[in-house]
A and B are shown apart, each in its own frame.
Chain A
Amino acid sequence: MSKRKSKENSGTNGECISQVQKILRERFCRRYATGKLFGIEHQHRHLLELLKRTAVHGESNSALIIGPRGSGKTALLNHVLKELTEMKQVRGNLLEVHLNGLLQTNDKVALKEITRQLHLENVVGDKVFGSFAENLAFLLEALRKGDRTSSCPVLFILDEFDLFVHHKNQTLLYNLFDISQSAQTPVTVIGLTCRQNRFTFLRRYKPVVLYYRRRAIFIHVAGLYYTVVRSLERPVGISVSWSAVGPADFPDESFAQKWNNNVQCLSEDKTVQDVLQNLFHRTKDLRSLHLLLMLAVSNVTVHHPLITASDLHEASKHYRMDSKANIVHGLSVLEICLIIAMKHLNDVYEGEPFNFQMVYNEFQKFIQRKAHCMYNFEKPVVMKAFEHLLQLELVKPIERPSVRTQREYLLMRLLLDNNQIMDALQAYPNCPTDVKQWAASSLSWL
């Protein structure tokens, strides 16, 4: 009896956990317009007002949303769009065209994509247009015909706006702004960019700059950062809001309760706060917090149903790993010796580039004076080790290697600094003592 009960219990538990994982993974990975927005309420109101004017009154507008990567530009826009489509007077009366600078790399592709998203392929057909502007005007004209009573407003959303600026002659941008100013079709252009200096990247492109100076509205997003201070003030702080499961969309209420209580306890935990503080000092954007929480959440299993502080601690340890130190850790002793020789060359000649011959010479000096014949490898063997370092891009040639220069005389630079080398040497397993001493005393070998 009891056995069956426990089994049943674990069964539902497993389902719950799978459900929790599903909800939280979607929340962290796909940035859906989730319930709340943090710190950008003002921008939100502003943008909503702007878009409402376009959709309802048929006004042409343009705006540029500026903010660093991961600051919630897309989230803000999605949120606003979702609210907009829920309004009665807007529904079915607004066409959206989403363009991305990564995908539409030139204007021809972009125009095709616009045609596709407006479902006008059959209208355009095989017509040949004289110019880009003509084509675009035709598209919008067709749109107007489709809706007899009044022209349908079109909302252009240009993600990675700074990449569109680099298009040849900026035909697309120029025409979009031209239409939004002159033609009757209400067109609103929303650009999203992470370039902070808004005019330096626009400066070279006269028409766009002029347009923006005169007309556009800038919306600076800097608010979707999480704050640790806030979580300290209110115990029901960030981690609750980001990893708690809402009771509304969760079947098992008791488990949700348990989970949320646990999360609340966690946010008061000292270790967790340390971890978050640490991450906060490094970066403030939400994406890295999501990464951390995702790692912690993926550890949750039936045997380990609730997140613990140590999970978060482990995840942050994973997050803080120094990748170059990891790579140096896996090198062979010979390669470590070569790196030390390069470090000495850097110290003596103050960062001048070096070639293989010099490194080999330095290494030979070490062998002849100090070490026993264990390290006495032949030159081709050393060369092979050196080329392995080159392959790992720990050393970088100044010019591109070509057939015109010999391999020994190619000038290189080391891409590790002294501290990294010394730290890596400390962590290196079974490092020979004389190599360690050699690394510590650079100048005495001259």
Chain B
Amino acid sequence: MPNLEHPVYPAATLLHLESLVPCRESQVSMLLSIFGERQQFSFPSIFIYGHTSSGKTYVMQTLLNTLQLPHVFVNCVEYFTSRLLLEEILSQLQNCSSETEQTSHVPCETFNDFVRLFKQAVASQELKDQTLYIVLDRAEQLREMEANILPAFLRLQELTDRNVTVVLLSEIVWELFRPNTGCFEPFTLYFPDYSIGHLQKILSQNHPPEYSADFYAAYINILLGVFYMVCRDLKELQHLAALNFSKYCEPVVRGEANERDTRKLWKNIEPHLKKAMQTVYLREVSSSQWERLQCDNGEPGQLKGLSAHTHVELPYYSKFLLIAAYLASYNPVRTDKRFFLKHHGKIRKTNFMKKHEKTSNHLLGPKPFPLDRLLAILYSIVDNRVAPTANIFSQITSLVTLQLLSMVDHNDQLDGPRYKCTVSLDFIRAIARTVNFDIIKYLYDFL
């Protein structure tokens, strides 16, 4: 293991730092060497990218806090307009320098003001001859702001002529950031993903004190065996490990197995974890529900998840309107005559059955249809006479507000609007069952 070294900081601090950031030694030592000594200049901007929970924010924060470097840490999602962002940086900067006791709100509307106020803020004795770090977390949000914000942050060192380094943290690669007129290129640093060994090491680190480390490590091993294919997100895995551990210990608590009985323990936990992937991992069942279920020894999965509650109670005509919309969306126009006209004349069966499109409509998604076609299908599938009252039309628009239908082009509200049906097949089948309508018989894809 490479030990961190740096001429300025005491070895104890560096050792402490190393223990705080497992499996990130090379990145930390790289950053340390780039940062250099306090009064030395560093890169104007550093762009750090890597996967979700690869420790970008954590490493940066621990590094800056442990070494007590003057820094400003801002999340760009939280401060989502340029004004909020700039004002937050300035107010944190005021806290950095203890000379100015009163922290007043500084209005700062443009980047021009920011540069001016920034120079004033760093003029204090402590900040003058030290590198100041401005860390912008979730930097992809900067692209949504005004066009000059990102290029200006990248060359802040030149614009302010102060010893400042801007660090951008993002999940997205630098190529997708570059403005089309070009900008000052930052130094890019990659935080690699944790390998399975790293994940094992980090996850086994905080094992519960009442069990041995080996016991917990074996549990983590099984957990990774189930989830590693799907999920490499450390946070998610940590969460899952915390949730399911009590179930794993169950045989030991009840005395059916001892800590060495790996096979028995594995047999106990594996189906449980598979179930967890379909429920807790997708947030179908909330974590607290899952924990309660484990306490009561209930069968996992007996609980209805969020997606099971898709049943919506609708009025009679709304149901038929929705069914008609679904048929209009997923059937081609030329088949309408065959499906919905009672006396449609002779159609050569072979020709009709031969499908022209290779891919079915359920693969391509719903097609838009005009209002007239929807009404024609509605009249044909409802047995008794339907009067085109205002009620029917208002039900169509209310289905749009419920997001069961959607209006395709917004340019014409009254004359000839076109709609799309945005519900799933399962949903519409459930609806059709309640009104005794066999929808499969009418769908071209299932002929």
Residues of B within 8 A of A139 (CB): none
Q: Which of B44, B51, B184, B229 has the most chain A CB atoms closer than 10 A to its own CB?
A: B229
Count how many chain A residues have C-beta atoms less than 8 Å from C-beta atoms of the other chain.
70
Q: Which single member of B44, B174, B195, B403 contacts A403 (CB below 8 Å)?
A: B403
Q: Would A21 and B281 be within 8 Å (CB), given that A327-B173, A392-B172 are in contact?
A: no
A217 in the interface, Cβ–Cβ < 8 Å? no
Docked complex: B1-36 residues within 8 A CB-CB of A = 5, 7, 33-34, 36
A105 to B39, CA, bound (A): 32
Residues of B within 8 A of A162 (CB): 181
A408 in the interface, Cβ–Cβ < 8 Å? yes
Q: Would A404 and B422 be within 8 Å (CB), given that A194-B182, A288-B185, A334-B230 are in contact?
A: yes
A393 in the interface, Cβ–Cβ < 8 Å? yes
A404 to B403, CA, bound (A): 7
Docked complex: B99-158 residues within 8 A CB-CB of A = 110-112, 115-116, 146, 148, 151-152, 155, 157-158
B231 pairs with A30, CB closer than 8 A? no
Q: Which single member of B36, B185, B365, B406 contacts A287 (CB below 8 Å)?
A: B185
A26 to B129, CA, bound (A): 13
Q: Would A404 and B278 be within 8 Å (CB), given that A105-B110, A288-B185 are in contact?
A: no
A103 pairs with B152, CB closer than 8 A? yes
Docked complex: B159-191 residues within 8 A CB-CB of A = 159, 161, 171-176, 181-185, 187-188, 190
1/0 contact string of B353-365 vs chain A (CB within 8 Å): 0000001001111
Residues of A within 8 A of B42 (CB): 25, 29
Q: Which single member of B50, B51, B173 contacts A324 (CB below 8 Å)?
A: B173
A392 to B50, CA, bound (A): 10
Q: Which single member of A25, A391, A406, A408 contacts B41 (CB below 8 Å)?
A: A25
Q: Which single member of A103, A294, A327, A429 contacts B115 (CB below 8 Å)?
A: A103
Q: Would A113 and B112 be within 8 Å (CB), given that A29-B157, A30-B41 are in contact?
A: yes
A321 in the interface, Cβ–Cβ < 8 Å? yes
CB distance from B363 to the nearest CB of A (A): 5
List the one stretch of A40-48, A272-280, A376-384 in contact with chain B: A376-384
A321 to B33, CA, bound (A): 20
Q: Which single member of B51, B181, B424 contacts A330 (CB below 8 Å)?
A: B51
Residues of B within 8 A of A323 (CB): 49, 173-175, 188, 190
B40 in the interface, Cβ–Cβ < 8 Å? yes
B87 in the interface, Cβ–Cβ < 8 Å? no
Docked complex: A310-356 residues within 8 A CB-CB of B = 321, 323-324, 326-327, 329-334, 355
Residues of B within 8 A of A361 (CB): 363
A298 pairs with B34, CB closer than 8 A? yes
User: Of all chain B residues, which has the CB nearest A291?
Assistant: B187
A14 in the interface, Cβ–Cβ < 8 Å? yes
1/0 contact string of A77-114 vs chain B (CB within 8 Å): 00000000000000000000000111111000100110
A29 pairs with B44, CB closer than 8 A? yes
A181 in the interface, Cβ–Cβ < 8 Å? no
User: Of all chain B residues, which has the CB nearest A103?
Assistant: B112
B50 pairs with A385, CB closer than 8 A? no
CB distance from B294 to the nearest CB of A (A): 21
A21 pairs with B115, CB closer than 8 A? no
B37 in the interface, Cβ–Cβ < 8 Å? yes
A169 in the interface, Cβ–Cβ < 8 Å? no
B442 in the interface, Cβ–Cβ < 8 Å? no
A90 to B161, CA, bound (A): 25
B193 in the interface, Cβ–Cβ < 8 Å? yes
CB distance from A43 to the nearest CB of B (A): 21
B282 in the interface, Cβ–Cβ < 8 Å? yes
CB distance from B39 to the nearest CB of A (A): 8
User: Of all chain A residues, which has the CB nearest B403?
Assistant: A403
Q: Which single member of A30, A374, A430 contacts B158 (CB below 8 Å)?
A: A30
CB distance from B313 to the nearest CB of A (A): 21
B148 pairs with A163, CB closer than 8 A? yes
Q: Which single member of B146, B171, B175, B363 contacts A391 (CB below 8 Å)?
A: B171
B366 in the interface, Cβ–Cβ < 8 Å? yes
A408 to B362, CA, bound (A): 10
Q: Would A381 and B230 be within 8 Å (CB), given that A100-B159, A105-B111, A298-B34 are in contact?
A: yes
Residues of B within 8 A of A116 (CB): 116
B7 pairs with A302, CB closer than 8 A? yes
A4 in the interface, Cβ–Cβ < 8 Å? no
A101 to B193, CA, bound (A): 39
B232 in the interface, Cβ–Cβ < 8 Å? yes
1/0 contact string of A262-290 vs chain B (CB within 8 Å): 00000000000000000000000001100
24 residue pairs of the A-B complex, CB under 8 angstroms, read A21-B37, A21-B40, A29-B42, A30-B41, A30-B161, A69-B183, A105-B111, A109-B110, A163-B148, A194-B181, A294-B187, A321-B190, A327-B173, A330-B193, A355-B364, A357-B362, A357-B365, A378-B278, A380-B282, A393-B172, A393-B176, A404-B406, A409-B365, A430-B196
Q: Which 9 residue pairs across A and B have the least CB separation, nearest first?
A: A409-B365, A330-B193, A323-B173, A404-B406, A103-B112, A330-B51, A102-B152, A29-B41, A25-B41
